[in-house]
Amino acid sequence: GNSVTQMEGPVTLSEEAFLTINCTYTATGYPSLFWYVQYPGEGLQLLLKATKADDKGSNKGFEATYRKETTSFHLEKGSVQVSDSAVYFCALSGASGTYKYIFGTGTRLKVLA
Amino acid sequence: ETGVTQTPRHLVMGMTNKKSLKCEQHLGHNAMYWYKQSAKKPLELMFVYSLEERVENNSVPSRFSPECPNSSHLFLHLHTLQPEDSALYLCASSQGLAGGGNEQFFGPGTRLTVL
């Protein structure tokens, strides 16, 4: 079936460190891929998205590239800030046979000053 | 108001109470969703409405009853809940169901505690 797998957290980094959060997916068809972020006490917000292979989504210094050959959509940021501390969710939609959005379990990021 | 709003933000209820959660979207979308978010569990899809018709009822106990009176409003009626129903309940909306790169927009959630 369709699924999204994210690395287990929490991920703890010092400010200005490089961030990678891994995400791989299993899906039939041509899904769109998303990263959402959830800050404490809030709902999920779209961070970036990519709708086809080799597309790169980017926003607020975060980037992720849709890699069909490795079925991956890893999230990266060159220099994290304390304000980036949150839970990050990888998700897909538009897989064949389902209208559902499928989310990973989330990865908590903690950035220390 | 903009985006997706939810009320109340926090709710404490006893197991015999009846309460309702409200969601309103100001985005002109035609699909709305209820999710349950529990600690250390994946996001659970509960209900999906498209054009005000329910298209998904994901094996949710009958003590949760959704209502979608129009494309902008979604309710979740609660009665005789159990302590394990304590969670963050998130509402979301999208233009069309999943597909074509349409993202979901989420509300801030209602933190529900069942005593």
Chain B hits for A88, Cβ within 8 Å: none
Cβ pairs A/B, distance under 8 A: 61
With a cut of 80, say whether residue B21 has pLDDT above it. Answer: yes
| A62-91 pLDDT, tens digit each | 999 999 999 999 999 999 999 999 999 999
Residue B63 and residue B114: Cα distance in Å, rounded? 13
Whether the CB-CB separation of B89 and A43 falls below 8 Å is answered with no
User: By C-alpha distance, which of B99, B88, B96, B77 is closest to B32?
Assistant: B96
Residue B4 and residue A21: Cα distance in Å, rounded? 28
Residue A8 pLDDT = 83
Residue B59 pLDDT = 85
Q: Do B109 and A42 touch (CB under 8 A)?
A: yes
Whether the CB-CB separation of A62 and A77 falls below 8 Å is answered with yes
| B22-79 pLDDT, tens digit each | 999 999 999 999 999 998 788 999 999 998 888 877 789 999 999 999 999 999 999 9
Residue B96 pLDDT = 85
Residue A87 pLDDT = 96
Residue B1 pLDDT = 66
Residue A33 pLDDT = 95
Q: Do B42 and A103 touch (CB under 8 A)?
A: yes
Q: What is the mean pLDDT of each run of 10 residues along chain A (113 residues)?
A: 89 97 92 94 94 95 97 97 97 81 93 96
With a cut of 70, say whether residue B111 has pLDDT above it. Answer: yes
Nearest CA of chain B to the CA of A72: how many Å?
Answer: 17
Residue B3 pLDDT = 93
Chain A hits for B108, Cβ within 8 Å: 41-43
For residues B98 and B87, the model is more confident at: B87
Which secondary structure element, helix H or strand E, spans residue B111, and what is its range?
strand B110-114
End-to-end alpha carbon distance in chain B: 32
Chain A hits for B42, Cβ within 8 Å: 103-106
Residue A34 pLDDT = 96
Residue A75 pLDDT = 98
